[in-house]
Chain A
Amino acid sequence: NAGVTQTPKFRVLKTGQSMTLLCAQDMNHEYMYWYRQDPGMGLRLIHYSVGEGTTAKGEVPDGYNVSRLKKQNFLLGLESAAPSQTSVYFCASSPRGRGNGQPQHFGDGTRLSIL
């Protein structure tokens, strides 16, 4: 069972370069999320999607864009990378459900360094 797959696993960029992080899930989940994890700050939500073709801003959306053209894929883009975006990025998915809090399934992360 693949679950949630993130590519690439590691990447080094120079300031000003652009890139796209890909997240794919094979569990037919409605909801998908992008987080960044920095030391001492837990996980912070960047953007999320509640269904194909829909996206919404999370807690720290500036400098990032997302797209969800297909239900199984959620892309995170950095148009002009900045050193402050050096972080570990996690994608997660969860099934539809309200109130009780469906479990989130996470990928293994993308370690991104901006020089």
Chain B
Amino acid sequence: TQLLEQSPQFLSIQEGENLTVYCNSSSVFSSLQWYRQEPGEGPVLLVTVVTGGEVKKLKRLTFQFGDARKDSSLHITAAQPGDTGLYLCAGVTTSGTYKYIFGTGTRLKVLA
């Protein structure tokens, strides 16, 4: 069974602080996605990383795919209250069965 562990599980920080969320697995994925979910809504895709070592930036968010394509990180610079939400990573399996394995989630709260 492929598992994706996210850490930390919960994070409460002050506005302006930086943070990093980690997504780790012992399995190799063909690509990895990050989603953000607001209360009462479904997850919304933020980014997809495909190549080992790839780094993508989305404004203040920086995403990195591990060299071995087993792990990923999300770094937020100068967090704002609007960043509050549940962050989920999802690994796309290489078995060709079109399945997405979701991580356990990181619940972020940014205080003004």
Contact = CB atoms under 8 A, between A and B. Distances in A.
Q: Do A and B bind each other?
A: yes
Interface of A: 4, 31, 33, 35, 40-45, 48, 50, 56, 58-59, 90, 92, 94, 98-101, 103-109
Interface string B35-60: 10000111111001010000000000
Given A98-B96, A101-B32, A108 B40 contact: yes
Interface string B88-104: 10101010111111111
B92 A101 contact: yes
A45 B98 contact: no
28 contacts: A4-B42, A40-B9, A40-B105, A42-B6, A42-B88, A42-B103, A45-B102, A48-B98, A48-B99, A56-B97, A58-B99, A92-B42, A98-B98, A99-B31, A99-B92, A100-B48, A100-B50, A101-B31, A101-B33, A101-B100, A103-B33, A103-B45, A103-B48, A104-B45, A104-B90, A105-B45, A108-B40, A109-B42
B84 interface: no
Contacts, number: 73
Main secondary structure of the interface of B (DSSP, over half): loop
B33 A40 contact: no
Contacts of B40: 108-109
Nearest to A90: B42
A24 B9 CA distance: 32
Interface residues of B, number: 31
Shortest Cβ-Cβ A-B pairs, 5 listed: A106-B42, A101-B92, A101-B31, A43-B102, A42-B102
Given A104-B43, A109-B40, 15 more contacts: A4-B42, A31-B98, A40-B105, A41-B104, A42-B4, A43-B43, A43-B90, A45-B102, A56-B97, A90-B43, A99-B92, A100-B31, A101-B50, A104-B33, A108-B42
